[in-house]
Structure 1
Amino acid sequence: MDRSGDMRVVRGFDDEPAHDILVPRESRAPFLFNSPHSGAVYPETFLAASRLDRRTIRRSEDSFVDALFAAALDHGATLMRANFPRAFLDVNREPYELDPKMFVGRLPPYANIRSLRVAGGLGTIARIVTDQDEIYRGPLAVEEALDRIERIYKPYHAALRKLLARIHVAHGYAVLIDCHSMPSVIRGLDARHRPDFVLGDRYGTSCHQGLVDAAANSLRALGYTVARNKPYAGGFITEHYGRPAKGLHALQIEINRGLYMNEETFERTAGFDHLAADIAVLIGDLIASLDARFGPDTLAAE
């Protein structure tokens, strides 16, 4: 049985890969599927520095999302996934979105200390999980934050850029699908307005609208409710890599965790296999839409 998503504790990432790149037998689709928040491999020193129990610290994970999108490989697309948890390091942020109040020592002058995400406690090195749970027992050394960025964040993005460049050269364009999950209870929305999926394209700026339409139509045909850009329009990855004028398209997909997992025990529910099968259909529909709906030339650089 695939145990992707089960929590593991390790000494660190010197001998443990911080991310995986899963390549199909035949790379034929101009898509890269990326799961930056599904990692569940926790360094011992990180857990020791945390004030949270092992269940609470996992609440910011996109548990099992990499497994939900595993069918990308069957469709000839590459899948990249983080092994480190989001609470340890968030690669869906700028490299230096850091809160100076969290650290002993001086941050570099180029650190972005005033972003809204830093103010909310969810910078590159997060201060909290969920809405209020403080992660750390006390302040961290600045060197610890910078080490995580140098050894894990920067190699992750270097690999992401390399994969997208390879796809772009082969096809004349590249499509990045950034794969995420969201709590079944979303702040500010009652149960009647809780979508199954949220598609984020930075309000029409990160991806060709034909692709977003194709994703929405596919999901609705499968019986799901779909929202666009609210409450999630896409994070740093979608914004940074989505350059439609250059033939680079980025779409964030958020999945309601209530469809497939128990959010208290971090276990898959009976809905997991059904959802994974539907996501396989979605992936196939997205790939088929390139020729059927608007043609690859539309996605190439202007």
Structure 2
Amino acid sequence: MIEVMQGDGPLVLGLPHTGTYVPPEIETRLNETGRALADTDWHIERLYDGLVAGVTTVRTRAHRYVIDVNRAPDDETLYPGQNTTGLVPLTDFDGLPIWQDGEEPDAAEVEARRAAYHGPYHAALAAELERVRAQHGFAILYDCHSIRSRIPFLFEGTLPDLNIGTNGGSTCAPGIADAVRDPCEASGYSTVTDGRFKGGWTTRHYGRPGEGLHAIQMELAQSTYLATEAPSWTYDDARAERLRSTLRPIFDTLSDWRP
């Protein structure tokens, strides 16, 4: 369920929301909205594939409706007062229920899923960050995400193309934030740092620059690389290649970065 590809560089990619696997016993309890899996980070693993040599990747195949590995294990919200979804979501990003009536998971089931899916993902991610830090003296976690550009339930208006999260600069060295932000701002894509998305639990949990662990989140508007932000969520090669031409030098810089 957890896929790890080890590289010899300092960069580790987290892929928490690309998986589409839902165990049959869980899938039968989802309603039609839930079974659509609309909140997947569609094709992100393809978008980032091969951008730089030596990168390590950690990916879960489980869908976020099984459990969201980018949420706090105790389900504490990261955005108080704002609409969001939980450790095991009850609604989709449009605020619509995803479970059949009476089939919502209870606390015991949530805990079982946390142990079966959330824990192993973070055990693998933590192990790779420690391995990389031991080799280089530091590690950089780049947490890869995407989302539809218009979701009124979660945010007003249209999301910027490139949304960088550092939790107010606390999760990585300034040079790492600059290495991501500056090329994005020069790219022609609309860009914001610590806007609606300041970094999820993964970025905030692992980002400890004083200990040589740096973390940064990139939330991409899916309009930057998909033909349409609706089924069948088709990958657009031309759009994706333009975006990859922006991401590639960022990864080159991060791979060469030294404290």
TM-score by length of 1: 0.77
Which residue in the other structure is 2:193 paired with?
228
Verify: 1:190 aligned to 2:190, yes or no: no
Alpha carbons 2:78, 2:200 under 8 Å: kept: no
Equivalent residues in 2 for 1:100-139, closer than 5 Å: 120=83, 122-137=85-100, 138=102, 139=104
Which 4+ stretches in 1 moved above 4 angstroms?
A: 114-121
Amino acid at match of 1:282: I
1:287 CA drift (Å): 2.4
C-alpha distance in structure 1 between counterparts of 2:241 and 2:37, whole Å? 22
- State the distance in 2 between where 1:173 and 1:285 align: 15
1:282 aligns with 2:250: yes
Q: Distance between the aligned counterparts of 1:135 and 1:210, measured in 2?
A: 41
Q: 1:244 to 1:90 in 2, by over 3 A?
A: same
Q: Tell me, yes or no, if the aligned pair for 2:11 and 2:254 is still in contact at 8 Å.
A: no
Shift of 1:277: 4.0
Counterparts of 2:160 and 2:82 in 1: how far apart (Å)? 27
1:140, distance to aligned residue in structure 2 (A) = 2.5
- AA of the residue aligned to 1:212: A
Specify which structure has the bigger relative contact order, considering alpha-carbon pairs within 8 angstroms and separated by 6 or more residues: 2
Per the TM alignment, residue 279 of structure 1 is displaced from its structure 2 partner at its CA by 2.2
Q: 2 CA distance for matches of 1:115 and 1:230?
A: 13
Give the Cα–Cα distance (whole angstroms) in 1 for the partners of residues 82 and 197 of structure 2.
18
1:93 aligns with 2:76: no
> What TM-score do you get using the length of structure 2 for normalisation?
0.89
Q: Which residue of 1 aligns with 2:48?
A: 69
Match of 1:213 among 178, 184, 187: 178
- Residue in 2 that maps onto 1:272: 240
Moved more, 262-271 or 88-97: 262-271
Match 2:56 to one of 78, 92, 95: 78
Alignment equivalent of 2:168, drawn from 200, 203, 213: 203
Which residue of the partner structure matches residue 243 of structure 1?
208
Q: Secondary structure at the match of 1:59?
A: coil
- CA distance in 1 between counterparts of 2:182 and 2:82 reads 36
Q: Contact conserved, 2:14 with 2:59, CA < 8 A, in 1?
A: yes
Question: 1:59 is matched with which residue?
Answer: 38
What displacement does 1:278 show? 3.3
Amino acid at match of 2:240: F
Match for 2:27 among 47, 50, 55? 47
For the residue of structure 1 that corresponds to 2:66, the secondary structure is coil
- Aligned-CA RMSD value: 2.2
Shift in Å at residue 23 of structure 1? 2.5
CA distance in structure 2 between the partners assigned to 1:264 and 1:146 by the alignment: 32
> Which whole-Å deviations, capped at 9, do the CAs of 1:148-177 have from their partners, x for residues lacking one?
111111111111111000111111111100
Gaps of 5+ in 1: 1-17, 98-111, 291-295
CA 1:183–1:286: 2 relative to 1, 3 Å: same
Aligned to 2:110: 145
Q: Distance in 2 between matches of 1:82 and 1:268?
A: 20
1:150-189 equivalences under 5 Å are 150-187=115-152, 188-189=155-156
The amino acid across from 1:274 in the alignment is R
Distance 2:30 2:21 in 1: 15
Counterparts of 2:134 and 2:224, CA distance in 1: 37
Gaps of 5+ in 2: none
CA contact (8 A) 1:20 1:81 kept: yes
- Mapped to 1, the partners of 2:78 and 2:171 lie a distance apart of 20
| Aligned residues with identical type, % of pairs | 28
- Return the offset for 1:127: 0.9
Secondary structure, aligned partner of 1:21: strand
State the structure with more CA Rg: 1
